């Protein structure tokens, strides 16, 4: 992974505007933007998890190719949760509470492969709303 200066540099690396969520996310402490391969980027919002029961992180991968597979111990089988969107989750028992469980949603949009990774006490419905807002 190669750090990028921001969304404009990510746009240039991807070769088109990076699709982003259009719904409000929880309070963000900082954002990381990285290149994860040729014509592939990931934007990670590290959230303010200082209050109880708040999620710690959400990340969006966008690339010409599918994102690299991740081994998630104890992960559920991927299942459709919305048209074209599949979801799986894993407990991450050793992680701090704001980072467990981990959810992964995958779908395609306008020729791009997308993966939303969310850590913490998210509902699947909230994650589908975020995924559906990406444009």
Cα–Cα dist 135/123, whole Å: 21
Contact of 92 with 102, CB cutoff 8 Å: yes
Q: Determine the pLDDT at residue 95.
A: 96
Q: Determine the pLDDT at residue 50.
A: 96
Question: Can you give the pLDDT of all 135 residues of the chain as single tens digits?
Answer: 999 999 999 999 999 999 999 999 999 999 999 999 999 999 999 999 999 999 999 999 999 999 999 999 999 999 999 999 999 999 999 999 999 999 999 999 999 999 999 999 999 999 999 999 999
In order of 53, 69, 78, 82, the CA distances from 31 in angstroms are: 21, 23, 27, 27
Give the number of other CB atoms < 10 A from CB of residue 104.
22
For residue 81, give the 3-state DSSP assignment: strand
pTM, rounded to two decimals: 0.97
């Amino acid at each position: 992974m190669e750090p990028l200066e921001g969304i404009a540099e990510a746009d240039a690396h991807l070769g088109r505007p990076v699709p982003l969520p259009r719904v409000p996310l929880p309070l963000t402490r900082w954002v990381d933007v990285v290149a994860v391969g040729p014509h592939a980027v990931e934007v990670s919002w590290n959230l303010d998890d200082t209050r109880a029961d708040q999620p710690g992180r959400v990340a969006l991968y966008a690339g010409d190719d599918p994102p690299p597979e991740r081994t998630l111990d104890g992960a559920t089988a991927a299942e459709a949760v919305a048209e074209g969107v599949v979801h799986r989750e894993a407990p991450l028992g050793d992680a701090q509470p704001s980072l467990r469980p981990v959810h992964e949603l995958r779908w395609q949009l306008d020729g791009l492969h997308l993966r939303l990774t969310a850590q913490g006490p998210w509902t699947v419905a909230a994650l589908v709303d975020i995924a559906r807002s990406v444009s």
